[in-house]
Amino acid sequence: MRHQPRPSPRPHEAMQRKKAEADHREKKPKFCINDHIDILIEILKRLDGPSLGVASSVCRLWCTIARSDSIWEHLCFRHVSSPPPSSLRTIVVALGGYKQLYMVCVRPVLSRLLHSDLVRSRVWTRDEVQLSLSLFCVDYYERRLLGDTSPSSLMFLCKPVNV
């Protein structure tokens, strides 16, 4: 093969090549969390309730994830000593979902129990889970029977604790 002398680059071609290089540099992986939903979920799973609420205002993707019940399920049982039975999910979903369970029941119960025990990082026992669920169930039933304006049996959970 005869060696052909390289033609000298014309200005137009030089500019195109430079642009291609620049584009190539830009396309190098810049980490965007929204591209990695599994990591995002892992992070959001570890937030507390109020932070999850804030997170849901960031963007649509975060909103969808932060509102999904599975994240709240994780939040509800984060402190439980033994994993909850698998049949639990159907029931909680039927009664209004994990987010509802957390807002209406788990959060006030936990804060009340933690406050009275004066121990901060305490594992929540299975009995306490059961009690919360029962209270949640009664509340659900009351709303169905008597309407949303009925006295909520969970109002007592919102009362300030006598010190």
Partner 1 sequence: MSLYSSCTSAASSAGSSVSSTTKTSEIDCLLAGAGYRVRSSDLRHVAQRLERLDAAMVNSPAEVSQLASDVVHYNPSDIASWVDSLLSEFNQTASLPSDLPELPELVVGPVLNQTVLAEDAWTDHDAPQHQQLNNQFPVMTAMEEDSGIRLVHVLLTCAESVQRGDLAFAGSLIEDMQSLLARVNTSCGIGKVAGYFIDALSLRIFTPQGVGFGGGVGLDAAYENEVLYHHFYEACPYLKFAHFTANQAILEAFDGHDCVHVVDFNLMHGLQWPALIQALALRPGGPPALRLTGIGPPSPDGRDSLREVGLRLSELARSVNVLFSFRGVAASRLEDVKPWMLQVRPKEAVAVNSIMQLHRLLGSEPSRNSPMEMVLGWIRNLNPKIMTVIEQEANHNQPGFLDRFTEALYYYSTMFDSLEACTLQPEKALAEIYIQREICNVVCCEGSARVERHEPLAKWRVRLGQAGFRPLHLGSNAFKQASMLLTLFSAEGYCVEEKEGCLTLGWHSRPLIAASAWEALALPDANSPATAPGIFVNPHSNPPVNSL
Q: Which residues bind partner 1 (CB under 8 A)?
A: 85, 87-88, 90-91, 94-95, 109, 112-113, 116, 127-128, 130-131, 133-135, 137-138, 140-142, 144-146, 151-153, 155-157, 159-162
Beta bridge partners of 80: 124
| Separation CA 89–CA 80 (nearest Å) | 15
Tell me whether residue 55 or residue 133 sits nearer to partner 1 (CB atom).
Answer: 133
Tokens linked to 41 = 């979920």
Minimum CB–partner distance for residue 91 and partner 1 (Å): 5
Q: Are 109 and 131 in contact (CB under 8 A)?
A: yes
Tokens linked to 161 = 């604790």
In the chain, the amino acid numbered 67 is R
Tell me whether residue 80 or residue 88 sits nearer to partner 1 (CB atom).
Answer: 88
Tell me whether residue 1 or residue 118 sits nearer to partner 1 (CB atom).
Answer: 118
